[in-house]
Amino acid sequence: MKKIDMADDGLQFSPLIQGYWRQMAWNMSPQALLTFIEQHLELGITTVDHADIYGDHQCEAAFGKALALSPSLRDQLEIVTKADIRIPSSPIGQVRTAHYDTSAAHLRESVENSLKHFHTDHLDVLLIHRPDFLMNADEVAREFESLKQSGKVRHFGVSNFTPSQFELLQSRLDDALITNQVEFNPVNMGVLEDGTFDQLQMHRVKPMIWSCLAGGAIFAKETAQTQRLYDTLATIGEELGGVGIDQVIFAWILKMPVNPLPILGTSNIERVKDAVNALSLTLTHEQWYRIWVASKGHGVP
Ligand code: NAP
What residues act catalytically? 54
**Could you tell me the maximum CA-CA distance found in the chain, to the nearest angstrom?**
56
pLDDT bin (cut points 50, 70, 90) of residue 89 is confident
Which among 106, 296, 282, 117 is positioned nearest to 192, based on CA atoms? 296
Q: Is 93 in the pocket of ligand 1 (CB under 6 A)?
A: no
Span from the CA of 211 to the centroid of ligand 1 (angstroms)? 5
Which among 241, 224, 244, 223 is positioned nearest to 233, based on CA atoms? 244
Span from the CA of 267 to the centroid of ligand 1 (angstroms)? 9
Q: Is 102 in the pocket of ligand 1 (CB under 6 A)?
A: no
Span from the CA of 78 to the centroid of ligand 1 (angstroms)? 19
Contact 255, 283 (CB under 8 A): yes
Q: Compute the mean pLDDT over every residue in the chain, rounded to the nearest whole number.
A: 97
Give pLDDT, residue 93: 76
**C-alpha separations of 85 from 3, 57, 182 in Å:** 30, 11, 16
CB atoms within 10 A of CB 94: 9
Q: State yes or no: pLDDT of 113 exceeds 80.
A: yes
> Which residue lies with its CA nearest to atom 12 of ligand 1?
216
Q: State yes or no: pLDDT of 87 exceeds 80.
A: yes
d(CA 222, CA 227): 7
Specify the range with the lowest mean pLDDT, choosing from 49-58, 87-96, 182-191.
87-96
Q: Is 268 in the pocket of ligand 1 (CB under 6 A)?
A: yes
Compute the average pLDDT of residues 180-198.
98
d(CA 270, CA 55): 24
Position in ligand 1 atom list of the atom nearest CA 219: 20
Compute the average pLDDT of residues 133-143.
98
Answer yes or no: pTM beyond 0.95.
yes
